[in-house]
Amino acid sequence: MRLCIAQWGLGSCRGRQNPRRLPFTSRSACVLIPGQRSGAAWVMVQLRPRASRAPVSASAMVDEGQPASEEEAEHGLLLGQPSSGAAAEPLEEDEEGDDELDDEAPEELTFASAQAEAKEEERRVRETVRRDKTLLKEKRKRREELFIEQKKRKLLPDTILEKLTTASQTSVKKSLAKLKEVNLQKKNEECEKGSDSKKAKEKVQKVQTVGQNKSYLAVRLKDQDLRDSRQEAAKAFIQNCLYGPGTNRTTVNKFLSLDSKRLPVKKAAAQFLNNAWGSQKKQNAKRFRRRWMVRKMKTSKK
Amino acid sequence: MDAFGGPIWSMAASPSGSQLLVGCEDGSVKLFQITPDKIQFERNFDRQKSRILSLSWHPAGTHIAAGSIDYISVFDVKSGSAIHKMLVDRQYMGVSKRKCIVWGVAFLSDGTVISADSAGKVQFWDSATGTLVKNHLIADADVQSIAVSDQEDSFVVGTAEGTVFHFQLVSVTSNSSEKQWVRTKPFQHHTHDVRAVAHSPIALISGGTDTHLVIRPLMEKVEVKNYDAALRKITFPHRRLVSCAKKKQLLLFQFAHHLELWRLGSTVATGKNGDTLPLSKNADHLLHLKTKGPENIICSCISPCGSWIAYSTASRFFLYRLNYEHDNINLQRVSKMPAFLRSALQILFSEDSAKLFVASNQGSLHVIRLLEGSFKHLHTFQPQSGTVESMCLLAVSPDGNWLAASGTSAGVHVYNVKQLKLHCTVPAYNFPVTALAIAPNTNNLVIAHSDQQVFEYSIPDKQYTQWSRTIQKQGFHHLWLQRDTPITHISFHPKRPMHILLHDAYMFCIIDKSLPLPNDKTLLYNPLPPTNESDIIRRRTAHAFKISKKYKPLLFMDLLDERTLVAVERPLDDIIAQLPPPIKKKKFGT
């Protein structure tokens, strides 16, 4: 969305171009104002007229010509006069110029026509102002919306926030329930998970997968072990130098299959099938099969 | 106590036994004084750049060699400063990006330092000048352990490929006095890394990641070439790790850091002899109890009624009460253990589950009465004369009167539980006891020793039984004595007093005391002959030892009731499948 100010000579407004610059050329600019979502609207905005540097030769001034005809219109261009074209706006200087050049008596202007012209002018001005206002308003509105959206993006989406609050409430409730009841079933499960009976009472749901995409987990720090950096470094060192990248280790499967390879009647490897292969494909296939069955049932019913 | 150097990588005691050196993660070597009551920090040696992975004392106690990453340092003990820093090549005759880790060092009395490193080299260094004397490339993978014999004329190294090499100091020519180190024998008895080796006067002992302990006697050192001089491979533990609660059909498995309680499945199908019946109700995993802290579980037991579980680590004792309701189980810990119950070597419950017997590692035996949710200490039997052994076994008679304990070198003590005093002592034998049990009605104590001898001692009569004397006079069958694995459990049939059921890792046997004993000429292992054989032949070949090798390797076997036997097998393939990966070996044709 860019503001393009194009400076046009008057002729271009009328469709005719004259590259020569002339004194007292009224400048009018066609401004492209970015519309909201529709195309740009061209508006005529009046600019301050600029005085030319070079003095105009008298001959140019003397040139005669009726503004009505095309030739004169061209000449009028030379002089910088506006012709009485459709988009032309009456300008005082040109009238002055007009007066100087024209020896004839001024045109008769009735009051009504002048009034009509003035009214039209007023209307036009009002309209431009209104249009400007509405455009500015729209611009402001759009800016506000943009800011709101950006702010919203910073915070977590509503759904996740809701989930978090409800989850924390239910977990608190659950812990209380556990403390109160001496439930065999729960204890059975907890014991099977390998904790002491006291721990079972205090344990709250450790891991809550919150969020639709489940890209993070919420865990209690108390359940994690304290890490000793030197211990971790030592463990990593021994693991790396014995089983790390540079060592020449084989897999347990290959090691156990070595004998079956050397038998007179060759047998298959110890773990011949790789059940983990293509798990995503298998899942998709299962889902598709289920849907197909449902569809088949529906069509067969009909 | 904390050495404040980070994880400790190596430890070595001085030849005099009064000092201890510790090599830490941060590169410091710390010296500790060993006093009878405690270990006290003395001072630090010069701190090195990388972690100290191996340590070795000079036999005179004046110098030490410390192996680290890419170098070996020689320290002077008095001053604590590093005299030499010998740089180890990263690869035999070459360069490499991987750092060379010195896994083992050994200091000989002539000043030679032997180093074993991760590039597969064994190097000989002169500690006086700090230079390399000889370089041997023995493996493609790491050489991980080294052990020197007492006479310093041979040493053994273990590699990551599973090979064990024997180096010997031999003279250069047959009648010269100059000697040199020569690699003499390779032994390939392991499939995975060999992480520890030891050199005894007559044998090389190696152990590694593949869970086997291999004892290889050296033929030139062995005087008598008999069965004892053969290779021994020990795979399974020599103690019982499974307890059974007979009434509730529960089994308690003891692992290193947790206990598992399983209920046995059942079947309603019937079949003929030798069939495998399908289970109608599967085995149930009832409980998985993890121990707190880093210590291993030493011993554990479940009471016969299934309501108490007790286990002990090196510093703590735990007692739990179990409640069974419908199909669920409720576990409660009994807190506030008494102070004397710290570390137990063996735990046993009485048959009526009212008493708990604990043998502590100081040699004393505690008797505790179990009440609902709590306990009451009844009595402590103090250690009798004789040194306290590290392995202790307990047995209690089914009627609850007698308690047998083998924990001292003075023999097996039998205590009267009702009167709480010592009843008698079985005479000492020079081999340790591996299994102990008291028969139900006759109160005969059956003892199995590690040399495969089995004794039967009558407790009320305070003497060996007639059957035991007979078999001792005749002697066991030679194949029985040549078995590799010791007997780990003995049990009895409640209605058949003449039967003794015992098992080791590869067989289980029912000894029928009413049948004749086999002599060396008869076939020891004679499974049931086919039915078309005549009765006479069957009677002729029948003898007291009925052995079955159907289930192996056996971890546990016991009689649940009169008609049911439970056997727990642990296949070796399962264990191997869970081991860390071995070094890749290229075999021709694969």
pLDDT digits (tens, 9 = 90+) for A269-295: 888 888 888 999 999 999 999 999 999
Q: Please tell me which residue of chain B has the smallest CA distance to A200.
A: B331
Mean pLDDT score, A196-222: 57
CB contact under 8 A, B582 and A231: no
Question: H helices of A31-110, where?
Answer: 58-62, 70-79, 92-101
The gap from C-alpha B434 to its chain's centroid, in whole angstroms, comes to 12
User: Residue B122 corresponds to which tokens in the numbers above?
Assistant: 């064994």
pLDDT for the residue numbered B199: 96
Report yes or no: A156 at the B interface, CB cutoff 8 Å. no
User: Residue B32 corresponds to which tokens in the numbers above?
Assistant: 């500790």
Report yes or no: A237 at the B interface, CB cutoff 8 Å. yes
* Higher-pLDDT residue of B303, A106: B303
Is residue A80 predicted with pLDDT exceeding 60? no
Tally Cβ neighbours within 10 Å of residue B183. 13
pLDDT for the residue numbered B328: 81
Kindly state the helix (H) or strand (E) to which residue A138 belongs, with its residue range: helix A111-154
Is residue A253 predicted with pLDDT exceeding 70? yes
DSSP 8-state symbol, B229: G
CATH number for the domain whose boundaries are B8-234: 2.130.10.10
Is residue A95 predicted with pLDDT exceeding 90? no
Report yes or no: A261 at the B interface, CB cutoff 8 Å. yes
Q: Please tell me which residue of chain B has the smallest CA distance to A228.
A: B6
Average pLDDT of the residues of chain A: 68
Report yes or no: A215 at the B interface, CB cutoff 8 Å. no
Chain A hits for B333, CB-CB cut-off 8 Å, are: 196-198
Q: What class has domain B239-382?
A: mainly beta
Is residue A3 predicted with pLDDT exceeding 50? no
pLDDT for the residue numbered B86: 95
- Rounded to whole angstroms, the Cα distance separating A144 from A85 reads 42
Q: Is the pTM of this model over 0.80?
A: no
- Rounded to whole angstroms, the Cα distance separating A181 from A176 reads 9
CB contact under 8 A, A242 and B142: yes
Tell me the shortest Cα–Cα distance from B252 to chain A, in angstroms.
14
- For residue B350, give the amino acid letter: S
Report yes or no: A194 at the B interface, CB cutoff 8 Å. yes
pLDDT for the residue numbered A259: 83
pLDDT for the residue numbered B374: 80
Tally Cβ neighbours within 10 Å of residue B423. 17
pLDDT for the residue numbered A298: 94
- The backbone region for B31, taken as left when phi is positive above 0, alpha when psi lies in -120 to 50, beta otherwise, is beta
Give the range among A198-202, A228-232, B111-115 with minimum mean pLDDT: A198-202
Segments in chain B below pLDDT 70: 386, 528-541
pLDDT for the residue numbered B520: 83
Give the range among A105-119, A183-197, B307-321, B329-343 with minimum mean pLDDT: A183-197
- Rounded to whole angstroms, the Cα distance separating B203 from B215 reads 6
Report yes or no: A236 at the B interface, CB cutoff 8 Å. no
B256: exposed, middle or buried (Cβ count in 10 Å: 0-12, 13-18, 19+): exposed
The gap from C-alpha A206 to its chain's centroid, in whole angstroms, comes to 39
Instruction: Report ipTM (2 d.p.).
Output: 0.84
Chain B hits for A191, CB-CB cut-off 8 Å, are: 287-289, 329, 331
Tell me the shortest Cα–Cα distance from B292 to chain A, in angstroms.
9
pLDDT for the residue numbered B540: 65
pLDDT bin (cut points 50, 70, 90) of residue A59 is very low
Chain A hits for B329, CB-CB cut-off 8 Å, are: 184, 188, 191
Tell me the shortest Cα–Cα distance from A219 to chain B, in angstroms.
21
Q: Please tell me which residue of chain A has the smallest CA distance to B321.
A: A197
Domain with CATH 2.130.10.10 in chain B: 8-234, 239-382
- Tokens 């029985």 correspond to B480
Contact pairs from chain A to chain B, CB under 8 Å = 96
pLDDT for the residue numbered B398: 92
- Rounded to whole angstroms, the Cα distance separating B383 from B387 reads 9
Phi, psi of A196 (to 5 degrees): -75, 165
Give the range among A70-84, A106-120, B233-247, B573-587 with minimum mean pLDDT: A70-84
Is residue A187 predicted with pLDDT exceeding 80? no
Tell me the shortest Cα–Cα distance from A222 to chain B, in angstroms.
15
**Taking a C-beta distance cutoff of 8 angstroms, is the pair B58, B107 a contact?**
yes
DSSP 8-state symbol, A221: G
Mean pLDDT score, A78-93: 47
- For residue B552, give the amino acid letter: K
Phi, psi of B71 (to 5 degrees): -155, 165
CB contact under 8 A, B331 and A231: no
Among residues of chain A, what percentage have pLDDT more than 70?
48
Tally Cβ neighbours within 10 Å of residue B28. 19
- Rounded to whole angstroms, the Cα distance separating B123 from B144 reads 13
CB contact under 8 A, A184 and B325: yes
Report yes or no: A201 at the B interface, CB cutoff 8 Å. no
pLDDT for the residue numbered A35: 47
